Amino acid sequence: MEIAQGMAYLHHYCFLQVIHCDLKPSNVLLGDDMTSYTADFGISKLIFSNSADSLTSIDALRGSIDYIAPENGIGGNLTTKGDVYSYEILILELLTRRRPTDDMFSEVINL
């Protein structure tokens, strides 16, 4: 729950919009009271309100392969939708207790 609230703040209420670009389980920390915190903003991007359409990921993929949104591939526009996609994969991983690249999800069953 705190992860979603944190992403909502960064995407909609922060002075500068922040795109995390690498939301995954290893970047979620738990505090003493089991409150979750989002960490590792190393490849995140700050978006000014008038330049959101001009950011692309032409240099390299931004994020971890298992959690990166297909539209954030090389040459794709960086948007907050990529963080939402990564959050969805993170939730699916928590519910199924399997990584997105698990052998179980080969040809017959997939996430």
Of 22, 59, 66, 83, which is the active-site residue?
A: 22
**Closest C-alpha to 36, from 9, 68, 75, 6:** 6
Measured CA to CA, the distance from residue 32 to residue 35 in angstroms comes to: 7
**Other residues' Cβ atoms within 10 Å of the Cβ of residue 87:** 18
The verdict on whether 83 is a catalytic residue reads: no
In DSSP terms, 45 is beta-bridged to 19
Q: What positions carry a catalytic annotation?
A: 22
